[in-house]
Amino acid sequence: MLVRWIAALVAFVAVILIGVVTVGNFDTGIDPGNFFDTEGSDSFAFIGAIALVVAFLVYAAIEYAQTGGFGSIARQFDTRTIVLMPIAIAINVILGATVANALKIPVYLDSIGTILVGALAGPVAGAFTGFLTNILWTYVLPPPFQNGPAAAFALVAAVIGVLAGFAGRAGWLRPRPNRSGTELLIGGLVALAVVVGLAVYAYTRFYGSTFNFFIPDVEVEPLFVVLGWLVGLIFVGFVVGFGYLLVARRDLGVAYVVVAGMVTGVIAALISAPISANVFSGVTGGGTDFLVAAFRQAGSDLQTATFQQGLLSDPVDKLVTFFVVYLVLNAMARRTKARFPQGEQLLEAGDTGGIEEGEWRSATS
């Protein structure tokens, strides 16, 4: 078990090193107005995604060599998970298509199902759900759900599923109600720091020196004002919901959810931006196009604008998505959750099954 993980980690690091050496210099100079060195991190994130695939193959190969099968992977594909996957994929596609085609708001909301499966069943099942969502979205589903660009982002969707799987396995999506004030304070501060960091980033991008709504001399399109407000409103709604769970239910779990969403969002942005910029010029027909337009209007080049859009849209999107999944998991019956491969990690600590008695036996096998 440990050997597999170590080997996978070694493979991951090795691929990244090889990638770094091959690509060469990442130090293209850090733009002071930018939090990240975009061009370098573009390539780096892409290498990371490839490294992830290689690491998985190594893990699977060693498991096969050790046990002659893929038990720990197959366990993530029990019948219950198999039944959940089509529902998860449908949720992804329907919400994603609605948000992109009808609502035109600059988020995606196309990974609720992926994150749900990842949390309940594990990283491999989550990756599979995300990957298949985007493939089916392009190749198999009929209009109006068919989506041309989706297949190009299948790898991104898979990585989101993997991250959700690890978040679930680590117990980050477990409710932790009725905690002490100190714990809640620390959790709240951590989460708040994440959200404020994101807000500051969004603010500097939107209202920074090059693209300032609030300097009266500069002409401002109403569209962008509305968008700015919307981003703000989502943040407000999120903070309110977050505060409710934290204060009214004293649920420390929300702090973990915030961090999980943030991490997933940033990684997703890092991987998807190069694909989006190089294949689709950053424009994919959804509400995110307005952001790309705004950043380009503000003077960013194609790559940078797409990357800036991703770094804004993805963390917001994944924060909201993780939060929705957290609410869905809380709404699910304890018994139903427990039967999924990773269900035990999603239950409140100390909340296990009934009393054991000698003559009562569970299913053999």
Binding to another protein in span 217-236, by CB under 8 A: 219, 221, 226, 229-230, 233-234
CA dist 316 and 310 (Å) reads 10
The DSSP annotation for 282-313 comes to: T--SSTHHHHHHHHHHTT--HHHHHHHHHHHH
Member of 33, 71, 86, 197 binding another protein (CB under 8 A) = 86
CB of 272 to another protein, least distance (A): 15
Residue 307's identity, in one-letter code, is F
Member of 203, 207, 213, 280 binding another protein (CB under 8 A) = 280
Member of 75, 80, 169, 249 binding another protein (CB under 8 A) = 80
- Hey, CA dihedral for 92, 263, 279, 20, is it positive or negative? negative
Verify binding: residue 33, another protein, rule CB under 8 A.
no
Verify binding: residue 1, another protein, rule CB under 8 A.
no
CB of 48 to another protein, least distance (A): 20
CB nearer to another protein: pick between 89 and 157: 89
CB nearer to another protein: pick between 53 and 302: 302
Alpha carbon distances (Å) from 224 to 104, 105, 162, 229: 13, 12, 34, 8
CB of 185 to another protein, least distance (A): 29
Of 178-186, 192-200, 252-260, 273-281, the segment contacting another protein by CB under 8 A is 273-281
Of 40-48, 50-58, 138-146, 186-194, the segment contacting another protein by CB under 8 A is 138-146
What are the residues whose beta carbons fall under 8 Å from the beta carbon of 75, sequence distance 6 or more?
122, 341
Verify binding: residue 77, another protein, rule CB under 8 A.
yes
Verify binding: residue 68, another protein, rule CB under 8 A.
no
CB 119 within 8 A of CB 167: yes
Which candidate, 255, 55, 231, 284, places its Cα nearest to that of 159?
55
- Hey, CA dihedral for 280, 285, 288, 292, is it positive or negative? positive
Binding to another protein in span 34-53, by CB under 8 A: none
Interaction pattern, residues 234-263, with another protein; x per rule: CB under 8 A: x--x--------------------------
Q: Which two tokens stand for residue 223?
A: 């569209």
CB of 119 to another protein, least distance (A): 12
Binding to another protein in span 308-347, by CB under 8 A: 324, 328, 331-332, 334-336, 338-339
CA dist 263 and 268 (Å) reads 9
At 281 the three-state DSSP class reads coil
Verify binding: residue 191, another protein, rule CB under 8 A.
no
Member of 103, 189, 193, 349 binding another protein (CB under 8 A) = 103
Member of 300, 308, 321, 342 binding another protein (CB under 8 A) = 300
Alpha carbon distances (Å) from 146 to 11, 249, 258, 344: 36, 41, 31, 36
